[in-house]
Amino acid sequence: MSDAGAGRTMVDIKAVHKSFGTLEVLRGIDLEVRTGEVTVVLGPSGSGKSTLLRTINHLEKVDSGWISVDGSLVGYRRSGDKLYELREREVLKQRTQIGFVFQNFNLFPHLTVLENIAEAPVSALKRPRKDALDSARRLLDRVGLADKAGAYPKQLSGGQQQRVAIARALALEPKLLLFDEPTSALDPELVGEVLDVIKDLALQGTTMIVVTHEIGFAREVADTVVFMDEGRIVEQGAPGDVLDAPRHDRTKAFLSKVL
Ligand code: ADP
Ligand code: MG
């Protein structure tokens, strides 16, 4: 990814609502993420952060409102005044443009590290296997794990597995990377190595939305910090404003617990 187009809108979220049964989890979300920027999403457990990320690549369908990524509606196509739902194949294609890194790595246990990274480019993008493996080696080098190509996930530490998961997400050359608490499952001493990889991506102009409780990371890396509570964005702005001079009681209460 390069910073070509920096400053353009990459993600546009308008009036998004989402309920599970009677529980309204997203209660009118508006958010804009510009190309080349890092948005960090904070908020208590249950506030809807994961659901919001999942709506961005259509792992959850919104009930109302809409989301666009790089100018295309997520999950829908507009024709005249009408919206048509995309077919499964088209949704999958859209999804290849958005990388997702999960809390629990979600690597394929039966594949080596290199095969984990090369799998999607071969199966989803029909890249020649040799090219995909060559790119996978370069990506492994980029996350500092060139010597682990032949290892299986269970032979790696959690921090190493998460770095592989990041390399795997990058293999599809996504326009956008979503991280859902990428360091929450890690022992404290392994958090830094994963945050360093994410910081490095930020320096290279990668557009990212990162859900995390790592306030130091937010302060250092975020262009925008968003605080969510009970399905709403309560406060957003530059890290120095939201983290050091929060205006809402909810934000203050949350920060006093995590800082
Ligand atoms: P966060 O990531 O901020 O902790 P989530 O988006 O995971 O919050 O969840 C918000 C609320 O939605 C929680 O109450 C959660 O239990 C509920 N929820 C999330 N996913 C589902 C689902 N698939 N079905 C029912 N309830 C869900
Ligand atoms: Mg979550």
Q: Which atom of ligand 1 is nearest to the CA of 180?
A: 2
Q: Which two tokens stand for residue 158?
A: 């959690």
Ligand nearest the Cα atom of residue 104: 2
**Does residue 3 have a pLDDT over 70?**
no
Q: What is the distance in A from the centroid of ligand 2 to the CA of 230?
A: 13
Q: Which two tokens stand for residue 105?
A: 């790595």
pLDDT at 259: 75
- Residue 5: band (very low, low, confident or very high) from pLDDT cuts 50, 70, 90: confident
Q: What is the mean pLDDT of the chain?
A: 95
Cβ atoms within 10 Å, residue 243: 21
pLDDT at 149: 98
Around ion ligand 2, residues with a beta carbon closer than 5 Å are 49-50
* For ligand 1, mutation pick of 22, 51, 56, 210 (most atoms within 8 Å of CB): 51
Instruction: Choose between 14 and 83: higher pLDDT.
Output: 14
| pLDDT tens by residue, 99-150 | 999 999 999 999 999 999 999 999 999 999 999 999 999 999 999 999 999 9
Nearest to 181 by CA among 162, 197, 199, 168: 162
For residues 34 and 6, what is the distance between their CA atoms, to the nearest angstrom?
A: 7
Nearest to 173 by CA among 1, 37, 35: 1
Radius of gyration of the chain (CA): 18
* For ligand 1, mutation pick of 17, 18, 23, 27 (most atoms within 8 Å of CB): 23
Q: What is the distance in A from the centroid of ligand 2 to the CA of 228?
A: 11
pLDDT at 7: 79
| pLDDT tens by residue, 64-82 | 999 999 999 999 998 999 9
- Kindly write down the DSSP assignment for every residue of 30-73, as one continuous string: EEEEETT-EEEEE--TTSSHHHHHHHHTTSS--SEEEEEETTEE
Q: Which two tokens stand for residue 78?
A: 């507009």
Ligand nearest the Cα atom of residue 42: 1
**Does residue 1 have a pLDDT over 80?**
no
- Residue 35: band (very low, low, confident or very high) from pLDDT cuts 50, 70, 90: very high
Q: What is the distance in A from the centroid of ligand 1 to the CA of 51?
A: 6
Residue of minimum CA distance from atom 11 in ligand 1: 46
pLDDT at 258: 86
- Kindly write down the DSSP assignment for every residue of 101-156, as one continuous string: E-TT----TTS-HHHHHHHHHHHTT---HHHHHHHHHHHHHHTT-GGGTT--GGGS
